[in-house]
Structure formats: C-alpha cells, structure tokens
Structure 1
Amino acid sequence: MFKSVWKPVISAIAYAFISFDDDYIIQRAIAGFRQCATLARHFHLPDIFDFVVVSLSQATTLLPESLQIRVPNYPTVEVEGQSVTVSNLSVKFGINFKGQLAAVVLFNIVNVNGNALREGWTQVCEES
C-alpha cells in the first residue's frame, strides 16, 4: 500500500512542514518524514528514500535558487581575532528556524539510512 501512495503522502508532509507554523504539525511532519524514510529503507525502495531527502533538502533553503553567478560584497566580522566572512545565505539560514530544523532532520535521516540513498546524494553533497 505504501508503494502506491508514497508520492502524495510525502508531498503532503512536505507541504505541511513548509506551510504551517504550529509546533504540533511540524513535529508530526518530522515524524512522517522519518517514518517514510524507514519504510523506504525497510522495503528497499531507494526512489522513495531519495524523494524524502530531496523534499527535506528543499525545506532547508540551502539549495541555490538559481545558478546565477554574481560576485557579492560580503561583510566580514572579527571572531576571536580572526576575520570571518558572513554570506547572505548564512544570515538567511540563521534566522530560518524551519530550515535549520529541516537540515537537522535531513542529516539525521541520511546518517541512519545513508546506504539507501541513490540520487539523493546530489542534494546532500556539493560537487566541486
């Protein structure tokens, strides 16, 4: 049954996670992502597992929205005597609680179920 309804279920979970601010709904969405990943691993369904990873990685807001090349002027700050560059991405991620939560859940799922990933690795590891 899971094999026939997985895509709309995971899409609904992702929509709920991104759209709603209620703590209970966010908690249930996280549990839903984890349960879908567990089912995908248990039944050897790597496409489903990859879809969970892609859905979570999009919720982190860490993926580039476009491949536009631009040379930004990032500010630098002094931290313990060293100069550190602060990018717009780090500021946006720092104020995005749901994005941080999605990143934690994503890496937790990948850490536990890493062997089940196929195409989803492109969302987790950046190519040089």
Structure 2
Amino acid sequence: MNLKTLFAGLSFASVIVSCANDDPSTLIDTTLITGLATYNQNVKSIIDNNCVVCHATVPKNGAPMSLVTYDQVKNAVLNRGLLTRISLENGNSSLMPQGGPRLPQTTIDVIAMWQQDGLLEK
C-alpha cells in the first residue's frame, strides 16, 4: 500500500467517524410526547445533536445541505428522504448520520411522528 492510498483511507475514515453521534443523552422517549409533535419542541434537538455537526450553516464533510432551520429540515423530510436515510440499517453506506451508528428507533419515531402530525414548527 502506498502512502497516498493510506492517507486517503485515513482521511475518509476520519470523516465517517466525525459525523456520528452516539451520545446516550440525546435519546428521546416518544412516550413523553403529549399532543402533536413539533419541530421546536421535539425535532430540533435531535437534528442539532445528530446532524448539524456536518449539516451546519456551511455544510462540512461532504454534506449536501444545511439542516439548521425549520424550513431546511422540513424540506429534507419532504424532498430529500431524511426519514429514509436515518432509517437504514447499520452498515448501509447511505445511512445517516454518516458512518452510523443508526439512531435509536424511538428517536427516528419522533421525526416520523412530526411528519405524520403535519410538520408543525411550534
């Protein structure tokens, strides 16, 4: 293996690792949601804790778009397959957060509930 290939591999691995967030404090129990799920009350913290590291105001690590505002996240759900991407199995190269691990199902369920409830902001 030449030095160029090794460097490229290590660079790719660092991007993959830097986009994952497996902090147990970000887990959300959907049974605690009363009423309709909203972006501000239920979804924003999930996106901020798991996605904004790459999907920042100025996207990093190859992220194609920002996910810092309500409109951006709503658009990602409606037009960019956000729910599909976060629902893929570990090991799938399209799984988000990039490189996994997959978000807990209860966290994914919050975003699905938000979509089902009409993608309300407040």
> When the two structures are superposed, what TM-score results if normalisation uses the length of structure 1?
0.30
- Larger helix proportion of the pair: 1
Q: Which fold has the larger relative contact order, with Cα–Cα distance below 8 Å and residues 6 or more apart in sequence?
A: 2
> When the two structures are superposed, what TM-score results if normalisation uses the length of structure 2?
0.31
Larger radius of gyration: 1
- Larger strand proportion of the pair: 1
